[in-house]
Structure 1
Amino acid sequence: MVDRIWFRLTFPLIAWLWLYWPSLSHMVTVWMNSKTYEHCFLILPISLWLVWREKATILKTPLTVSWIAAGLLIIPSLIWLIGRAAGFGLFEHLAAILSLQLLLWAVLGTAIARQLWFPLLYLLFAVPFGDSLIPRLQMITADLSVWLLNLSDIPVYREGLYLTIPNGRFFVAEACSGIRFLMSSVALGTLFAYLQFTKTYKRIFFVAFSFVFPIIANGIRAYGIVLIGYWSDMKYAAGADHLIYGWVFFSLIILVIFFTASLFSDAERPPSSPSASETPTPPRQQWGVFGSIALLLSITAFWNLQLSQHLSPTTQTNTTFQASQTETLSAWGITFPYAQTHQRQTTADGKAEIFTARYNIWQQDGELISSLNQLFNKETWSLKTIQPVNLASGVRARTMTVANASGGTMHVLYWYCVNDFCSSHPLAIKLVKASYRLAGQQGFSDVFAIASSELNDTEILRIAEQNNGILAAKNQ
């Protein structure tokens, strides 16, 4: 039985690795370069251990194939191609894992997949996701800290993500958002929910608990750091003390989650029994499923090759335009590296700055929506508010207010375009870019931004309306 399983798995897994290797390699690189996703290294070993626990049942379950799973493989293939075309790593990583899950289901059959439903689904935690939660988590941490400081009668002044107390100032940075605690605790909480509970409602509630508890706990942790700084006159609230306190607190979070799971755990579940309704699949049907999988992977590989052949090296001119030689640009800090062209200038009255940058949608290095790009210098400014606005041309833009440590504020209006399609939503821009690339068409993607520390949102919006045609023409 074991030999038959390995025989079925060997060639499909080799083909899967060959096709998705670039995405898998990039996914591991993300794990290595981000402390937020260090827990992802444990997901595969944990899943294999969970499979090993079910080995006796698996060996007694007849091997079949699943046409349903084989057909569903089309979905991750399309998601992966869109991710490749859009340069969207999350789509690539998610598609690679989904395709592995469906591939195993297809070649081993529904009965075995039903026995291994949790180990297979648990592989989704290997996908590095959650970065989009960081700004919101920073705001929640700041909110909880201020609320607890007010309860403690400690004077605090908040400006965006800056918290000022009588003897010091704190900044709720991305590292303080608690995203590391959150992702790790949810992954472990989900595992505990599966191992400790048999009732579905208990599992759902416990996973929700493992999501909410670390968010609240991180707010308490940040409050504690400020409290230590207040009591120690800022001697023990930064540097190594900050890091040690964070790790101790994270350990306490895991202990609380583990203790809660043990406290409310259900009785040990009976060993699962093999399905008696499944019968071995005829050889013709087996080879039909294997052939369908091979055909789908080949088509996906061919389409990916066509995309790769259209990529062109970046021609980076990166010219910077200023309205006059005497003007001084502010410490806005907007950065879009690897753009083919970018321009930054002040308005005639010097009260606002305009920035534009252009990318070719086929260039290899650099793209419009990227973690390397920033609409303001995050070391100088922190996000205070952000909201959508509509330009008269129908473009859905966004305006945001950022603050610095000295109490200054700056308003920024921005939007993106891919050829004639404009939006401030990054996902929409990526999908439109992907549609052009999948169709083999040419195009450009642009960013337009206006910033001012003197004008309000309405006045900046008026500048955008007055210069809409000029802004579009600058990158022609």
Structure 2
Amino acid sequence: MPIATRHRMPVLGIAAAGILAWLYMPILSKLVSLWFQEPEYAQGIVLTVLASYLVWDRRNAPCWFQMVEEPVCWRGSWIIIITGLLLLTIGHAATEFFSQRISFFIVLWGLIAYGMGPQAISILWEPAVLMMMAVPLPAIVVDTITLPLKTLVSILAAAMLHVSGYSVVRYGNILDISGFHLEVVSACSGIRSFFALLAITIVLSAGMRSIFSRLSLFFLLVPVVILSNALRIVSTAALSLRFPAHSVEFYDGFAGWAAFLGAFGFIVGVRMAIDRLSVARKGRE
């Protein structure tokens, strides 16, 4: 790179940071306020911490120093930057907050890729995905995903209760268990635990070199979430029928935590098993 261009890079970096602050400060301040004020979106704080940890963990990558000393000025990054700016424009025009918020992380990723080159995509895709997951999805998207999940969890829970010896009649997302009515609400669909476990899986898969192993870990998420939430419904119903002194919400709270911890333990166990298989395979070679 010419010396004059290299000397202009700090100035360009400061200018880019200033433009980003001017464009996105109002948007980001409202997003952060949403994380702290609404418990439903508090996972954004955790996801930000996890993304920051992954970036810090890769701080010694050679391309970081190259970005400062001799930036690549990758032209392909302009596709990412322009895509982010288009989302910002569309979001402003339609008064749609999701597009505006997620555009910041896309533009930031593009600016880093401009200095680091294509390596930025392979090195920073996990932190970038985590930060995009911290942006609340539009309500219409959440409802579209939640409804079939609730139905599937209800069907599976009814089948498991029937096998366990309970008389169950299902009306949509309502289970009639020997005269006791239990509704499978949105919180029991598994949508929240899915995104939380997806973030954990991204962090756990960060050190895995095999693409097949990574995909195997991700593909397990959906059935694990559905099964764990069905077990949550089954255990809540069983406890409520056997010990009616407490409310359904009381049992469901404990069952929810147990289901999440069980799914988390299963994902971690699969990750450890994959590591052991890799070590055993290397030992044979």
- Alignment of 1:42 with 2:13, yes or no, is no
Deviations 1:327-370, CA, capped at 9 Å, x for gaps? xxxxxxxxxxxxxxxxxxxxxxxxxxxxxxxxxxxxxxxxxxxx
Match of 1:125 in 2: 133
Match of 1:22 in 2: 26
Q: Percent identity?
A: 20
Which runs of structure 2 are paired with 1:423-442 in the superposition (5 Å)? Answer: none
Deviations 1:372-391, CA, capped at 9 Å, x for gaps? xxxxxxxxxxxxxxxxxxxx
Match of 2:239 among 200, 224, 228: 228
Counterpart contact for 1:144–1:223, Cα < 8 Å: no
Larger % of strand: which?
1
- Alignment of 1:261 with 2:277, yes or no, is no
TM-aligned CA distance change 1:71 to 1:186, over 3 Å? closer
| 1:253 to partner: Cα distance | 1.7
Count of paired positions: 263
- Between stretches 100-109 and 255-264, larger displacement belongs to 100-109
Q: Secondary structure in 1 aligned to 2:220?
A: helix
Deviations 1:418-464, CA, capped at 9 Å, x for gaps? xxxxxxxxxxxxxxxxxxxxxxxxxxxxxxxxxxxxxxxxxxxxxxx
| 1:217 to partner: Cα distance | 0.9
Tell me how far apart the structure 2 counterparts of residues 55 and 8 of structure 1 sit (CA, whole Å).
22
Counterpart contact for 1:43–1:122, Cα < 8 Å: yes
Query: Computing the radius of gyration over CA atoms, which structure comes out larger, 1 or 2?
Result: 1
Counterpart contact for 1:163–1:171, Cα < 8 Å: yes
Give the residue type in structure 2 aligned to 1:136. P
Match of 1:141 among 122, 129, 153: 153
| 1:260 to partner: Cα distance | 1.4
Tell me how far apart the structure 2 counterparts of residues 99 and 181 of structure 1 sit (CA, whole Å).
28
**TM-score, length-scaled by structure 1:** 0.50
- Alignment of 1:209 with 2:220, yes or no, is yes
Tell me how far apart the structure 1 counterparts of residues 240 and 123 of structure 2 sit (CA, whole Å).
52
TM-aligned CA distance change 1:72 to 1:115, over 3 Å? closer
| 1:188 to partner: Cα distance | 0.7
- Alignment of 1:160 with 2:172, yes or no, is yes
Larger % of helix: which?
2
Counterpart contact for 2:239–2:251, Cα < 8 Å: no
- Alignment of 1:192 with 2:201, yes or no, is no
Match of 1:182 among 194, 198, 211: 194
Match of 1:13 in 2: 17
- Alignment of 1:252 with 2:256, yes or no, is no
**TM-score, length-scaled by structure 2:** 0.81
Match of 1:75 in 2: 83
| 1:13 to partner: Cα distance | 2.5
Tell me how far apart the structure 2 counterparts of residues 110 and 205 of structure 1 sit (CA, whole Å).
26
Q: Secondary structure in 2 aligned to 1:127?
A: coil
RMSD: 2.6
Give the residue type in structure 2 aligned to 1:94. I
Match of 1:241 among 246, 251, 255: 251
Match of 1:64 among 57, 69, 72: 72
Match of 1:54 in 2: 58
| 1:8 to partner: Cα distance | 5.8
TM-aligned CA distance change 1:118 to 1:165, over 3 Å? closer
Tell me how far apart the structure 2 counterparts of residues 136 and 192 of structure 1 sit (CA, whole Å).
28
Deviations 1:261-290, CA, capped at 9 Å, x for gaps? 1121245xxxxxxxxxxxxxxxxxxxxxxx
Counterpart contact for 1:80–1:92, Cα < 8 Å: yes
| 1:29 to partner: Cα distance | 3.9
Give the residue type in structure 1 aligned to 2:108. L
TM-aligned CA distance change 1:48 to 1:5, over 3 Å? farther
| 1:155 to partner: Cα distance | 1.2
Give the residue type in structure 1 aligned to 2:222. F
Tell me how far apart the structure 1 counterparts of residues 31 and 256 of structure 2 sit (CA, whole Å).
26
Match of 1:31 in 2: 35
Tell me how far apart the structure 2 counterparts of residues 166 and 77 of structure 1 sit (CA, whole Å).
56
TM-aligned CA distance change 1:162 to 1:112, over 3 Å? closer
| 1:147 to partner: Cα distance | 1.1
Give the residue type in structure 1 aligned to 2:89. L
Tell me how far apart the structure 1 counterparts of residues 48 and 185 of structure 2 sit (CA, whole Å).
31
| 1:19 to partner: Cα distance | 0.5
Counterpart contact for 2:236–2:251, Cα < 8 Å: no
Give the residue type in structure 1 aligned to 2:202. T
Tell me how far apart the structure 1 counterparts of residues 242 and 128 of structure 2 sit (CA, whole Å).
49
